[in-house]
Chains A and B, each alone.
Chain A
Amino acid sequence: MKHLLSVDDLSADAIQQLFETAADMHDVQRREVKKLPALRGRTVVNMFFEDSTRTRSSFEIAGKWLSADVINVSAKGSSTSKGESLRDTVLTVCAMGVDGLVIRHPASGAALQVSEWVDASVVNAGDGTHEHPTQALLDAYTLQRRLGSLEGRHVAIVGDLTHSRVFRSNIQCLTRLGARVTVVAPPTLMPSGVGAWSAAAGFDTSYDLDDVLRRDGGPDAVMMLRVQRERMTGAYFPSPREYTVGYGLTRDRLAVLGPDVPICHPGPMNRGLEIAADAADAAQSVVLEQVSSGLAVRMAVLYHLLAGESEGGMA
């Protein structure tokens, strides 16, 4: 496999192979010398046309710890702000002999489009409201480490589903690994056509978070999604307070969850909106673990895409 554009590109076996490599990479984080020579001589460019702290830093450190030369290009300060097209910017950068291109862009499908323009391996680091495959991989990796296996486990994904690329990637990843998924959102933030999609992909939908948390002993893991104010152009809920009352992981709902139920959040968190500080800082919160897992998973992705001979790597 040359690119990672969608979780759909990966079989369950390929995902588990990535996880095995990620586990090896995880050990590097505890070493005094956090460096492996696997990508020495390779050049990776992080092109971020949207703001990012976690993902960009994570990809940058992942590349550097594998000894790749990593360059960051952001929309602000790049030639795109002078009016250059995405295609020209990408081709210009790739003309410098780039091996890997990690791209985040506000347009859905941008990563796929870029992969058709360049010879470099392209990693989708988030394209609009479409996909964010490495986030889904790190979420599943974190939960698998916590729960032992995702086979038959019940995961509740809660929040702004309409605008969430993390949710779209996670649905594919979690169901592919055998998890049972229930997505919970207010009707205004539930994607249109979700009924047919859920039937095809095999996940459940609900508008009632309290019911999902209580029914059948509750979920084995809860994934809270950020309310994406920057993507919202309409009035999706009357007020932040009302959203929290209906769909936030409040102190009361935390009490309903068992103390061993992992709480995920892709970050950045809107504390007090979709997740209370008590839940974000609880012992069962794996938010920071997701960050360290993300580094290991991204190292694994870069290793599998760039270390071997061309067109080698994930089946």
Chain B
Amino acid sequence: MPATTDETSPGTGPERADRTVLDARDISRALTRISHELLERNKGATDLVLLGLHTRGVPLARRIADKIATVEGAPVAVGELDVTMYRDDLRSQPTRRAHKTALPPGGIDRKVVVLVDDVLFSGRTIRAALDALADLGRPSAVRLAVLVDRGHRELPIRADHVGKNLPSALAERVSVRLSEVDGTDEVTIS
């Protein structure tokens, strides 16, 4: 029962001609900018909770939290959110492996929750995340930060903070690789 990958995972199949659109420094700069945007929008890190979406949203959320902590001089709450059970395509795929959902000790009630993911594509993952959040508590606001927005939305969902807008053809594959998961930092399109 191997876990299936989603559209944002790096390909493990045949070699493709990849074009790098973000390297490690680009990714770091994008996350720094998102961190500052979050702080500016939230007027500080008070009541801020970053929830990384499995798989690659989790390390991204931690990186943003570290950057915010450096700027603010105080730690910011980070958690992990798994949306496997809330996906609308569960029935049409082999059984997916669920991951851990871990909220910070203070929970998410009355907090500003920032969902963090690697690629925003159809919007269905974020829809599932909003459903998952509703079962976990009632944030005062929910925002979305993504490293890459590749377009092709199928639902009325938009990101509040985007590292890079990446117009892409539907047939193209956007792959985010992060050192914590994949051993290297890069975003490629093929």
Q: Which residues of A contact B (CB under 8 A)?
A: 14, 17, 20-21, 23-25, 27, 31-33, 35-38, 66, 303-304, 307-309, 312-315
| Interface contacts beyond A20-B97, A307-B96: sample of 13 additional A-B pairs, CB < 8 Å, sorted by A | A17-B1, A27-B100, A27-B101, A32-B137, A33-B136, A304-B95, A307-B85, A308-B95, A312-B1, A312-B95, A314-B1, A315-B1, A315-B2
Q: How far is the CA of A223 from the CA of B97 in the complex (A)?
A: 31
Asked if B152 is an interface residue, CB under 8 A from chain A, the answer is no
**Among residues 5 to 44 in chain B, which have CB atoms less than 8 Å away from a CB atom of chain A?**
none
The 8 closest A-B pairs by CB, nearest first: A308-B95, A312-B94, A38-B85, A36-B85, A33-B135, A313-B95, A24-B98, A315-B1
Q: How far is the CA of A159 from the CA of B153 in the complex (A)?
A: 61
Complex contacts, A31 vs chain B, CB 8 Å: 135-136
Known: A14-B1, A309-B91, A313-B1. A37 touches B100 (CB 8 A): no
Q: How far is the CA of A25 from the CA of B97 in the complex (A)?
A: 12
| Majority-rule SS of A interface residues | loop
Q: How far is the CA of A66 from the CA of B101 in the complex (A)?
A: 16
> Min CB distance, A6 to chain B, in Å?
18
Complex contacts, B98 vs chain A, CB 8 Å: 21, 24-25, 303
Q: How far is the CA of A83 from the CA of B162 in the complex (A)?
A: 67
Complex contacts, A14 vs chain B, CB 8 Å: 1
Contact A37 B91 (CB under 8 A): no
Asked if B143 is an interface residue, CB under 8 A from chain A, the answer is no
Complex contacts, B92 vs chain A, CB 8 Å: 309
**B2, B86, B94, B99 interface centre (most CB from chain A within 10 Å):** B94
Contact A38 B135 (CB under 8 A): no
Total inter-chain residue pairs, C-beta < 8 Å: 63
> Min CB distance, A10 to chain B, in Å?
11
Known: A31-B135, A38-B90, A312-B95. A24 touches B100 (CB 8 A): yes
Contact B101 A35 (CB under 8 A): no
Among the listed B91, B95, B100, which residue makes an inter-chain contact with A303, where contact means beta carbons less than 8 Å apart?
Answer: B95
Contact B1 A37 (CB under 8 A): no
The closest CB in chain B to the CB of A313 belongs to B95
The closest CB in chain B to the CB of A308 belongs to B95
Complex contacts, A25 vs chain B, CB 8 Å: 98
Asked if B131 is an interface residue, CB under 8 A from chain A, the answer is yes
13 pairs from A and B in contact (CB 8 Å cutoff): A21-B97, A25-B98, A27-B101, A33-B135, A36-B85, A37-B86, A66-B85, A303-B85, A304-B95, A307-B90, A307-B91, A308-B93, A313-B94
> Min CB distance, A174 to chain B, in Å?
22
**B96, B99, B102, B131 interface centre (most CB from chain A within 10 Å):** B96
Asked if B149 is an interface residue, CB under 8 A from chain A, the answer is no
Contact B99 A37 (CB under 8 A): no
Asked if B117 is an interface residue, CB under 8 A from chain A, the answer is no
Asked if B82 is an interface residue, CB under 8 A from chain A, the answer is yes
Mask of B94-115 contacts with A, CB within 8 angstroms, 1/0 = 1111111110000000000000
> Min CB distance, B3 to chain A, in Å?
9
Q: How far is the CA of A33 from the CA of B95 in the complex (A)?
A: 23
Contact B82 A24 (CB under 8 A): yes
> Min CB distance, A92 to chain B, in Å?
26
Known: A14-B1, A24-B99. A309 touches B82 (CB 8 A): no
